[in-house]
A and B are shown apart, each in its own frame.
Chain A
């Protein structure tokens, strides 16, 4: 770890991808970032914000939901629910909602409750206490509905809500950047070697370039 700020570390997330960029650590470059950006990014590897919006039951359901949506199993993992909770507390929405959806805070509360209802019907347990496999089945059933109705909501619009919040929180984290080979902030240094198969000295080549997810080789 270099840099004056003695940044926290961005641990390897418990595996879903195989380590495609071995040794790559975006936080090694923190001394090359502008202080405003560095402060923001380092805050994400620090202590996550306290839960203020979700009730304990909602927090549990949201955590299980996000773990499954983002394929996070064991530790270490990126804490996403505290960041979603913070956005909902501060009403930091995307600036729009579908006309057939309640505003985001209510939509989160309701949809988490419906997950519990579905889970109880399927396996007689709250969603958070169901097995990962049962949780996945409940989630899959929502996705399979497409634009059809789910407890009075358009399932596709619920799906959009969940994935927008979850992906934003997860792929804002340096550990997630390490996993995908993305160096994160690039100011004021910028890039000197753009172009196909060109890398900066601190970028790491994909160790498994043929792991194309589309043909299943990556699994």
Chain B
């Protein structure tokens, strides 16, 4: 732990008096002028952007992070309530289309410093080594320009910084975690019981929720509102795991600043900084290096909205790669009804997972696989599930009154990257006058087979645990891709170090660079990829 503190002091920079924000650190923050030529400006202070900021600030770079949303204070801004957490999500307008359109909002992306990890569940599994070569091994998806080995040291670093709690992990590249597994609540208990009875291996973790005190971050209080932002500071998000250390090393975080375009010099072919709007005023921050980290919808949208003479179809879009190969995971949720009370709202929704079905099974007609995890919807989300099942009226109320008896598992199915699943610009404009994103999604046959297979396994587990009835609803989870890394510019937007092929001082360091998604939640991998990109930059990649 001492070693972590030497690399990243964030947890020790938070207050230890029961309040959650170090206001002093924010007030004393260094502030740059728009006219200063800073070393790096980062668009988006989420998983990828914050990691990059912290790494480079530590190395003495002058860095500014802009975020469209607020600089959150968990005490004042967040509530222990579902409906009251609406402001955590990116709810600027977006259009969804395709044969299987993917609803956005609360289910996909966040805004404000900390990004989507403010309201992510908190699962932090690694990808498997096989994820980096699915094209070679399985004939689907894509090969990454880097391998698991390249990322492994960064996985280990980030797991210590969050920190991650869980049992020894037997899947993928077997590894252990810095913290012991948490005790489980009703939903985790049901999963473990059902998995055991049906001969499936399930493990507690891996979650980025501190088990015990970590620096000045307290222990989890098992209150179940992880998806509404952790008011306790127990669940990791960059707001508390990377931003404090970045501030202490001279970074500026400029919140409420919506970036509307990337500046470009036609003569040198280099990025010059970013156009942004703050308090209604259009401004321009000069920078020697620009990194975009707005996540899989906003990053491609920003590139497409940054057209110039050199890039008539959007920056870095010479080969029509921007916005393509966007992925979501198929995330069916299967719930089981028990005579006993499960009360799944008590404990963090992320508790127990199984990656036994993650890899391609040669005996199955489909490629790649899925993982299974506890998910524990709160009442509003649960009601929307029930309504989606077709229940309404008195019937809906009866179902809802049965809430304490239900246990709910979710699968993450590795949907395959397809060129037609992409972001384009819609006719509709946002309040800044910028075209909004149109996100089109259609499933392929392999995707559909995975969802059915995952549903079968979840039903089997819940029945084995003693459920008398099970129901399933189809959902999606997570986004990655949209500006993927590749070995050359005809197949992607950035190289293995996150540097764009077309503009030498433009980087993308967020979930949009992932070429495949595995059956793992993506945040840890996004942070590891950004940390690796940072190492490349500090090694002289500017």
Contact = CB atoms under 8 A, between A and B. Distances in A.
Given A99-B438, A196-B340, A213-B398, A187 B232 contact: yes
B275 interface: no
A171 B378 CA distance: 10
B268 to A, nearest CB: 38
B83, B183, B384 pick with most chain A CB within 10 angstroms: B83
Contact of A213 (B89, B105, B383, B399): B399
B106 A189 contact: no
B392 A139 contact: yes
A68, A136, A172, A196 pick with most chain B CB within 10 angstroms: A196
B391 to A, nearest CB: 8
Interface in A19-61: 20, 33-34, 36-37, 40-41
A71 B394 contact: yes
Nearest to B87: A92
Contact of A212 (B185, B225, B405): B405
Interface in A158-172: 160, 163-164, 167-172
A71 B397 contact: yes
Interface string B83-126: 11010011111111100010111100000000000000000000
Interface in A70-108: 70-71, 92-100, 103
B223 interface: yes
A177 B378 CA distance: 11
B384 A37 contact: no
A136 B393 contact: yes
Interface string B207-232: 00000000000001111110000011
B173 interface: no
User: Which applies to chain A's interface (DSSP): helix, strand, loop or mixed?
Assistant: loop
Given A95-B93, A99-B97, A213-B395, A184 B81 contact: yes
B95 to A, nearest CB: 5
A202 B152 CA distance: 46
Contacts of B400: 17, 171, 176, 179-180
B184, B337, B378, B384 pick with most chain A CB within 10 angstroms: B384
Nearest to B94: A96
A149 to B, nearest CB: 17
B316 interface: no
Interface in B262-285: none
7 contacts: A70-B393, A71-B394, A94-B91, A171-B382, A185-B79, A194-B222, A206-B341
B537 to A, nearest CB: 32
A40 B77 CA distance: 11
Given A194-B185, A196-B189, A213-B402, A95 B91 contact: yes
Interface in B285-307: none
Given A36-B79, A196-B341, A182 B379 contact: yes
B417 to A, nearest CB: 22
B81, B231, B340 pick with most chain A CB within 10 angstroms: B81
Interface residues of B, number: 75
Interface of A: 16-18, 20, 33-34, 36-37, 40-41, 68-71, 92-100, 103, 136, 139, 143, 160, 163-164, 167-172, 176-177, 179-182, 184-199, 203, 205-206, 209-215, 218-219
A69 B393 contact: yes
B343 interface: yes
Contacts of A69: 392-393, 396
A11 to B, nearest CB: 15
B401 A195 contact: no
Contacts of A98: 96-97, 101
Given A34-B231, A94-B106, A199-B343, A17 B96 contact: no
Contacts of B347: 191, 194
B93, B185, B383, B438 pick with most chain A CB within 10 angstroms: B383
A18 B401 CA distance: 9
Contacts of A181: 343, 401, 403-404
Contacts of A167: 380, 383-384, 387
Contact of A205 (B83, B341, B438): B341
B179 to A, nearest CB: 18
A103, A184, A190, A218 pick with most chain B CB within 10 angstroms: A190
A160 B388 CA distance: 7
Given A172-B81, A206-B404, A212-B468, A182 B345 contact: yes
A186 B89 contact: no
B82 interface: yes
Contacts of A169: 83
Nearest to B394: A71
B186 interface: yes
A143 B94 CA distance: 25
B89 A190 contact: no
A79 B217 CA distance: 40
A198 B86 CA distance: 31
A96 B95 contact: yes
